[in-house]
Amino acid sequence: MTSEPQSVTAPAAGAGEVQLRVDGAIAQITLARPSSRNALTDQVIRDLLAILDEVGSSTTVRAVILEGEGSTFCAGGDTKVPTRLTSPSQAERLEMAELYGRAFARLDNLPQATIARVRGPAIGGGALLAITCDLRVCDFSAVFRFPEVPMGQYLMAAGTSRLVRELGVPRTRDLLLTGRSLDATAALDWGVVTRVVEGDALDAHVDEMAAGIAAIPGNTARMTLESIRSCSSKAASSWADDYLATLPKPETPER
């Protein structure tokens, strides 16, 4: 992006740990906790959701870039900051789980095209943030990993279904059950990313992609995304229906 960016502050922006810049028809969302490797906290998720709501309601933004500040895209959950996801209160745990789910769903369903610009590690929730975007571009420093299941944790925010949608069942099974790491080359082969470029070209490459999408006339890009997402949703619904059809029907108690 070459013109002077317009800074926009989203509601609940906190200490600026999630930042939004809008330059014409392109929005850039940055996870800005480089000293913590852009790890996710409850507040980061709140701020991200607020920014996504703002961007999603914009009538001028046509492409969105999601990135991490510094040498790490996102290291997943911040283990040094308490989270209500592990609260003794079930109500608090459910409230936060719903918030996380809403944030990822909002990213998944933004009317604009989304591009993840991935530099360095994308771990757990960070990898899920990237793969939730429509397009994922990384440089050769990128590493993707989902360590949750080997640690005895469930991948939340509908992460499993998103991985199945993007990668297919066998590769999702392999990634989640083994917790294996994928470097940039393997990530491209597996479909975790859609392009890999040299590190010094990453910023310009993604900016050019976003500009090209933003320049598509009329509502063509938005309608195309809606059509693609509709196909994905129908496929997911079909899988669920097929699975439910295999289950025994509950017996109706005699009156």
Report the C-alpha gap between 23 and 63 in whole angstroms.
Answer: 10
CA 54 to chain centre: 17
The Cβ of residue 83 has, within 10 Å, a number of other Cβ atoms equal to 18
CA distances from 45 to 69, 86, 141, 147 (A): 16, 15, 25, 20
Determine which of 17-26, 29-38, 186-195, 229-238 has the lowest per-residue pLDDT on average. 229-238
Show Cβ contacts of residue 83 under 8 Å, excluding neighbours closer than 6 positions.
41, 42, 77, 96
Report the C-alpha gap between 204 and 199 in whole angstroms.
Answer: 10
At the fourth CATH level, which superfamily is domain 6-215? 2-enoyl-CoA Hydratase; Chain A, domain 1 (3.90.226.10)
Which pLDDT value is given to residue 240?
41
Determine which of 76-80, 142-146, 215-219 has the lowest per-residue pLDDT on average. 76-80
CA 193 to chain centre: 12
Reading the block at residue 167, the tokens are 């990668």
pLDDT tens-digit map of 90-111 = 888 888 888 899 999 999 999 9
CA distances from 208 to 3, 31, 66, 199 (A): 13, 21, 14, 15
On whether the pTM is more than 0.95, the answer is no
Instruction: State the DSSP code for 191.
Output: T
Which pLDDT value is given to residue 31?
98
The Cβ of residue 4 has, within 10 Å, a number of other Cβ atoms equal to 7
Q: Active-site residue numbers?
A: 148
Q: Helix crossing, 159-167 with 125-132: angle to 10°?
A: 50
Answer with the residue of higher pLDDT: 157 or 159: 159
Show Cβ contacts of residue 71 under 8 Å, excluding neighbours closer than 6 positions.
34, 119, 120, 141
pLDDT tens-digit map of 186-225 = 999 999 999 999 999 999 999 999 999 999 999 999 999 9
Residue type, 214: A
